Amino acid sequence: MTNDLNKLTLAEARNGLRAKKFTSVELTEACLSAIEGAGALNAFVHHTPEIARAQAAAADARIAKGDAPAMCGLPVGIKDLFCTKGVPSQAASNILKGFKPEYESTITAQMFDQGAVMLGKLNMDEFAMGSSNETSCYGNAVNPWKVDDRQLTPGGSSGGSASAVAADLCLAATGTDTGGSIRQPAAFTGIVGIKPTYGRCSRWGVVAFASSLDQAGPMTKTVRDAAIMLQSMAGHDPKDSTSADLAVPDFEAMLTGDVRGKVIGIPKEYRMDGMPAEIDALWQNGIAMLKDAGAEIRDISLPHTKYALPAYYVIAPAEASSNLARYDGVRYGHRAKLASGDGIVDMYEKTRAEGFGSEVQRRVMVGTYVLSAGFYDAYYNRARRVRALIKRDFDEAFAAGVDGILTPATPSSAFVLGEMQDADPVEMYLNDVFTVTVNLAGLPGISVPAGLDAKGLPMGLQLIGRPWEEGELLNTAYALEKAAGFVAKPAKWW
């Protein structure tokens, strides 16, 4: 049993710890052993075994005293976008090489205060910009699912988090979602990932990509685990001006699985030309499962959906170009070596050219362009107006009585690593087609594994909820999870 402790869910491990069936130290050692044997996945990029063992021992002492919050003693992985005190926090970028923060992000501080155990930092796309984890300065993470010996992407940007959870290297992981970066990798690896309402979780100490879109959330093995972990991550933070001063409900207590009488909207605009038959069949199956569970299915229209992707790829790069201006080689991170006679502008240019990867450079240039004089109104302000219309579409659907919305999570299952690297960047951006609307509208969304395609790869369904009603969303996801009965795991090859 001890050797397989890493395969437990958060809920199973929590209950086992409280029942004294094993210790947090034993649980942590099982995860550390699994991580050591999974170098081929390249999921963990900074290992913190000493911190993990110390935190596990402290958690065992708390549990012995009867002081055991839900996350106490549970080993998790932390996406490299979260600042962790004294531990490298690079956002998978060479420009932050060697950066060890003197502070802890609010979310990780909350989790560690509750006794969670940090196993290490997880791989990701550079500055969270990517859908395949191939823009990372550490090299790409690899999906534990495989087809014909070809390595697959775990998705992005939270690819390391998804890979680690799917391969049982950790019990759960933190992720961030700016346009689908939790939900898409969750769908690609057969796990659960929830993006909460914008403002539900603090952004303080999370390296910024696009400040009006970024939101942290949990990536877990089950919906119940997502409820448990979200409870520990959520809450008001006075250090974050966008953090909502709202009480955090007991999400786990809301998991009844009863969705009778709930109205689930099916947006016609998500039935896109060229959608693979398997994705459409999965969607229809999801509709049938919720209907059988007692939900009312209603066709709805979200007419501005078709403008979401272009609006997102104006707003997100614009905010990125502003946020990434702080990386100049002056205060922290990488600084280029200068030739005799080079001035401050030369240092900025050389540092940023060496430190930022090609995808980050592309987005910074796009963002700078759309914010420049003469183009600000034509691009950025127009995109903001489209964003308002997209939010209004959702508001009107919810006002008409819709409780949740069901869509596919991704337009395909995981693709082969390298397959899209040399393609038109827009091809890669299309991976976010079903997810970006949720970020633009600030809504909660969750991906639930619901089936396998013909190649034996996992596919996910997305549920979108009303703002601040993550509890209701999780309950609907719980009903869908029970109906789908997805228990498949990748065959170990790493």
Q: Which two tokens stand for residue 99?
A: 């950066």
Selection from 143, 150, 214 nearest residue 185 by Cα:
143
**281, two tokens:** 């069949």
Tell me if residue 250 falls in helix, strand or coil: coil
241 cis-preceded (ω within 30 degrees of 0): no
291 flagged as catalytic: no
The residues near 160 (Cβ < 8 Å, ≥ 6 apart) are: 42, 43, 44, 45, 77, 79, 80, 122, 123, 124, 133, 136, 141, 154, 173
Q: How far, in Å, CA of 80 to CA of 300, rounded?
A: 38
Query: Is 79 among the residues known to form the active site?
Result: yes
Please identify which residue in the block is written with the tokens 């789908």.
484
407 near 270, Cβ under 8 Å?
A: yes
Decide if 462 contacts 403 (C-beta within 8 A): no
Sequence-distant (≥ 6) Cβ neighbours of residue 243 within 8 angstroms: 199, 201, 202, 203, 204, 235, 236, 237
Considering the candidates 93, 136, 157, 163, report the single residue annotated as catalytic: 157
Q: Packing angle between helix 106-113 and helix 223-233, nearest 10 degrees?
A: 110
Cα angle 420-278-168, degrees, rounded to a multiple of 5: 70
Q: What angle do CA 251, 208, 473 make, to 5 degrees?
A: 20
Q: Where are the alpha helices (DSSP H) in 276-424?
A: 277-292, 308-323, 344-355, 358-370, 382-399
Report the distance separating Cα 380 and Cα 320, nearest Å.
13
List the one residue out of 412, 362, 421, 409 whose CA is nearest residue 140.
421
Here the tokens at position 307 are 């403008």
Report the C-alpha gap between 132 and 146 in whole angstroms. 15
Q: Are 470 and 247 in contact (CB under 8 A)?
A: no
Active-site pick, 161, 181, 232, 413: 181
What are the angstrom distances between the C-alpha of 56 and each of 71, 79, 227? 11, 20, 22
Question: The tokens of 96 are what?
Answer: 């932050």
Which residues pair with residue 82 across a beta bridge?
Answer: 206
Examine the residue annotation and report whether 21 is marked as an active-site residue of this protein: no
Any idea which residues carry the catalytic annotation?
79, 157, 181
